[in-house]
Amino acid sequence: MSRDQGHKGKVVSADEAIATIKNGNRIFIGSGCGEPQHLIHTLANNRNINDIIIFQMLAHTLADYLNEEDFRRRFSVKLFFVPIKMQQAAFEGKVDYIPTYLSQLPQLFRTRQIVIDTVLIQISPPDCFGIASLGVSVDVTLEAVKNAKTVIAQINPRMPRTHGDGFLHVSDIDYLIPFEEELIFMDQEPVEKEAAGRIAQYVKELVDDGSTLQVGYGHMPYALLQYFDNKNDLGIHTHMISDAFIPLIKAGIITNKFKNFMTDRAVATFCMGSRIAYDYIDNNIQFYFGTADWVNTPGIIGKNDNFISISSALEVDLTGQVCSDSVGRQFFSGTGDQANFIRGATLSKGGLSIIALPSTAKNGQVSRIVANLSAGAGVATLRADVNFVVTEFGIAQLKGKSVSQRVIELCQIAHPDFRASLIEAAKKNHYIFKDQLPPLAEDLIFIEKYKSRTTLKNGKTLSARPLLPSDEIGYRNFFYSLTKETIFMRFFHSITIFSREMAQEHWANMDYRKNISLIGTVKNKGNKEMIAIATYAEIDEKWAEVAFVVREDFQGQGVAGYLCKELEKVASANGFEGFFATTLPENRSMINLCKKLYPDIKITTNAGEVDIWMKFTNDNS
């Protein structure tokens, strides 16, 4: 490396620095919003340079030249990620996409599987000790600098000075080019507001206060953050900081104080946004920008307890395979490190992962939940790694479930217009039984208000919600957990088998208005177990027949009374004026409960059975 004044890189013009590049060189260019635009323009306009291979992670400025035949003749562009401005060029073969995990790129540089002759980077002004910062783009850039023969750096006063791994001494730089220009701004693409709001409500159900978040690259994940204003003390360990994080940090929603790993620090590898983010991260010790091979590896990610990965997808097939970099053979992004963050969440104590996506594309004409991934689509995340999938129609939990269960879970959150066709396709693929009924072809957003929770006498939290088709296995497990006596009290005769046909018939008759079941679940070792069910079915316009059953170890905890009153709220909202129930005389607990809940109860005996009529009061608060 050349030296000037002993410890400083040589200060030259951009033309002088670029002129040192030899024909046939392999160049790495700093990526994302940290790319050195002035150096890129100078490189592209130097007609004396030929047969150059350019490697870049997130490219923007090069898009301005890809339609020039002279540029394509002199330069071959290879990208590790295909941003919006490059999508058409990638489809037309004007750039070459290299699918790889970003966390593995530094190792490819170190082992010279990708050889770098020259790097073009952008840095903040060096301090009085000669130390500059890579600013908004540490990621894989630092390792490229370490393994390059020649380092050319644009010094830009507008580059933030960030804390972490991205510091360089000017003695490690061959040519310094002072040039001030605004950094690239990355505007957040608009998303459909109603869908984003609904997706956010479901995602927030899975995010507890004090969790540490990763928010994946994409418009939808960052759009969700604006709805997190009622969360507390969140932490950040992610690949990218955007403008969307800053209001939450300023409002004290993101504090990082409950992180058990890198406490009080928001950890990331790069930043893409606008002056809102750039000015906030400048010399801000709250942020730690590390290299991608450290920040984005599962072993490091998993050190964060209660880690939640939130990422997006272009398609999810009915078995749970996730495509996030292409639609068919057209590339739309890159492999990134989605799989690493999802696997890191699995290693985290209390961690989980979420794939959040709208249910449709192209103005509702295409389902994103698909029977089969598009021909040529790449699988970014394996079906065995996927945990939760969320659309505006609900939450599908896939981890640990069979293919047939996954089909029902995913069809349930697909757009209503596509549910029946997805079920038919699943039958053709031999994923499910031939007699499987599709979920209701209706937007069931209204049943969200039927959800509630309460604290039982034993201190456990009971969650109540409507029974769904995806609850079949849990429902059947609940039945088999009951004693013969409890089953007899509920059904008036002995039942020893509760088949899938019986379970399917139950939920197939539900419309969530005239006929509905609420289930009560309690968390047990990270899973939610069904411990009670309460059902009403229409008798006539005014009356509905009610029945409920509670697992023996939760009887006497107030479960039946709570579910009955919650069921009354639903029935009253749907126009019913009272409940009717039939039980056996020896079922004193149910009779006494009905008397307690409904003082004006009417009880008659009919053929050895007890008929109970319970008129609602006007107060359903």
**CATH number, domain at 566?**
3.40.630.30
For residues 293 and 333, state if they share a domain: yes
What sign results for the dihedral spanned by CA atoms 186, 189, 194, 197?
Answer: negative
Question: Do 389 and 282 contact (CB within 8 A), yes or no?
Answer: no
Q: Where would I find the H helices in 241-318?
A: 245-250, 275-281, 292-295, 298-301
Among 149, 178, 207, residue at a domain's last position: 178
Cα–chain-centroid distance for residue 39? 36
Residue matched to tokens 């709805």: 227
- What's the chain's Rg over C-alpha atoms? 30
Phi-psi region of 601 (alpha: psi -120 to 50; beta: other; left: phi over 0): beta
**What is the number of other CB atoms lying within 10 angstroms of the CB of residue 284?**
14
**Whole-number Å distance between alpha carbons of 183 and 279:** 11
For residues 121 and 153, state if they share a domain: yes
Measuring CA to CA, which residue among 308, 162, 151 is closest to residue 235? Answer: 308
**Length in residues, the chain:** 621
Tally the C-alpha atoms within 13 A of residue 408's C-alpha that lie toward its C-beta.
Answer: 19
Residue 295 identity:
V
For residues 163 and 255, state if they share a domain: no
In a domain, 538, yes or no: yes
**Whole-number Å distance between alpha carbons of 341 and 269:** 13
In a domain, 438, yes or no: no
In a domain, 570, yes or no: yes
Secondary structure (3-state) at 282? coil
For residues 463 and 603, state if they share a domain: yes
Among 178, 201, 229, residue at a domain's last position: 178
Residue matched to tokens 């990208």: 79
In a domain, 43, yes or no: yes
In a domain, 186, yes or no: no
In a domain, 188, yes or no: no
Tally the C-alpha atoms within 13 A of residue 555's C-alpha that lie toward its C-beta.
Answer: 11
For residues 213 and 344, state if they share a domain: yes
**Whole-number Å distance between alpha carbons of 495 and 501:** 14
- First CA to last CA distance, the chain: 76
> What's 173's domain CATH number?
3.40.1080.10
Helix, strand, coil percentages (3-state) for the chain, rounded to 5, are 30, 25, 45
Name the E strands within 156-230: 167-169, 175-178, 212-215
Residue 285 identity:
I
Residue matched to tokens 């004290």: 252
* pLDDT score for 601: 92
**Whole-number Å distance between alpha carbons of 329 and 337:** 20
Residue matched to tokens 């029935």: 571
For residues 365 and 241, state if they share a domain: yes
* pLDDT score for 620: 56
For residues 249 and 393, state if they share a domain: yes
Question: Do 38 and 175 contact (CB within 8 A), yes or no?
Answer: no
Among 128, 143, 178, residue at a domain's last position: 178
* pLDDT score for 586: 87
Which residues in the chain come in under a pLDDT of 70? 1-8, 326-334, 490-496, 619-621
Question: Do 383 and 375 contact (CB within 8 A), yes or no?
Answer: no
**Whole-number Å distance between alpha carbons of 546 and 532:** 14
Q: Domain count for the chain, please give it.
A: 3
pLDDT digits (tens, 9 = 90+) for 406-436: 999 999 999 999 999 999 999 999 999 888 8
For residues 174 and 208, state if they share a domain: no
The structure tokens listed for 530 are 């069904």
Q: Which residues 6+ apart lie within 8 Å of 379 measured at CB?
A: 321, 322, 323, 373
Residue matched to tokens 């992610």: 238
**Whole-number Å distance between alpha carbons of 66 and 94:** 7
Tally the C-alpha atoms within 13 A of residue 565's C-alpha that lie toward its C-beta.
Answer: 16
* pLDDT score for 1: 36
Measuring CA to CA, which residue among 428, 416, 437, 408 is closest to residue 318? Answer: 408
pLDDT digits (tens, 9 = 90+) for 12-43: 999 999 999 999 999 999 988 999 999 999 99
In a domain, 3, yes or no: no
For residues 510 and 579, state if they share a domain: yes
* pLDDT score for 619: 64
* pLDDT score for 238: 97
For residues 300 and 390, state if they share a domain: yes
For residues 30 and 165, state if they share a domain: yes
In a domain, 441, yes or no: no
Name the E strands within 216-321: 235-236, 240-241, 266-268, 270-271, 287-289, 307-311, 315-317
* pLDDT score for 494: 56
For residues 348 and 412, state if they share a domain: yes
What residue numbers bound the domain in which 494 lies?
447-615
Query: What is the SS3 string spanning 417-439?
Result: HHHHHHHHHHHHCCCCCCCCCCC
**Whole-number Å distance between alpha carbons of 16 and 54:** 19
